[in-house]
Amino acid sequence: MTGKPSSRTTQQALTYLILGIATTFILMPEVWLLVTSLKKNTEYLSPQFTFLPAVPQWENYVQVFTMIPFLNYVRNSLVLGVTFTTLCVMSSSLAGYAFARIQAPGKNFFFSIVIALLMIPAIVTVIPQFVIFSQVGLTGTYWPWVLWGIGGSSFHIFLFRQFFANFPRELEEAAELDGCGPFRIFLEIFLPNAQPVLATSAILNFMWVWSDWFNPIIFLSDANTTLAVKLNYAYVTPQGQQLTPIVLAACVLYVMVPVVMFFLGQKHILQGIVTSGLKG
């Protein structure tokens, strides 16, 4: 930043030093997770501190599947995730498109509600929802996720609206002259050109359900719960002692899904985060 070459070198060195410290802070816990997931339980519980496992216990990763019906819980998480994501993307893209491209009385009023819901915390609705759902027998089922999906999400409506607002007007004018109705214009002209935002929305929605611990633990029962919940208490000895390294191995597998999804969609996701963060 300053002119002198020597001070510039010092400053650069300092920059990399700080970035290095930050990188270490981020990576150390992750590395410790990986190495500990390969330790024997007795090794983990030994008072002697060792960084690497004496012999990597790949066995742990097999036990993740054999100790409990792991894949059942994966399936539960997947079913919830895919159901919610499909519905939420459909509902949010429709609403986002309408707010961006269709003119109607009352539009601004409803859009201000979308923005207000973006800021208003969900804490005042989730417990009454729980009360209502349990009165009508929807707790313990996947129905809440279906309903939440149909209702869409303010954040994703906003995301779609920002995206669709940037298309040139000529696009739908031409289609209208050809006699296309609004729904066909949306389906055949806008949606096929919306792959980046569709992917972002789908990935973020899926990651949200896959990561969620709070809603499954209050709305589902032990029998049909998700991996996020089951993971915490499933891997124990008959005496009830937690087998930490196996839990950690399960964690590694559990984390892989959103991390891989994030890397696949990184560019678009970061763009989406930035758009919502900067323009609110």
* Phi-psi group of 246: left, alpha or beta (phi > 0 → left; psi -120 to 50 → alpha; rest → beta): alpha
Angstrom distance (rounded) from CA 151 to CA 122: 14
Contact 224, 69 (CB under 8 A): no
Stretch that binds another protein, among 57-65, 67-75, 188-196, 231-239 (CB under 8 A): 231-239
Residue type, 260: V
The 61-100 site mask, x for binding another protein (CB under 8 A), equals: -----------------------------xxx-xx-xxxx
Q: N- to C-terminal Cα distance for the chain? A: 31
For position 165 contacting another protein by CB under 8 A, the verdict is yes
- Collapse the DSSP code of 110 into the 3-class scheme (helix H, G, I; strand E, B; otherwise coil) and give the result: helix
- Spatial contact of 145 and 79, defined as CB atoms under 8 Å apart: no
Site for another protein in 5-64 (CB under 8 A): 15-16, 18-19, 22-23, 25-30, 32-33, 36, 44-45, 47, 49, 51
- In angstroms, give the least distance from the CB of 130 to another protein: 9
Select 55 or 260, whichever has its Cβ closest to another protein: 260
**Beta carbon of residue 195, minimum distance to another protein (angstroms, whole number):** 19
Identify residues 173-192 at the interface with another protein (CB under 8 A): 181-183, 186
Cβ neighbours of residue 196 closer than 8 Å, sequence gap 6 or more: 163, 268, 271
| Interaction between residue 4 and another protein (CB under 8 A) | no
With binding defined as CB under 8 A, does residue 259 bind another protein? Answer: yes
Residue number, 129 or 205, with CB nearest to another protein: 129
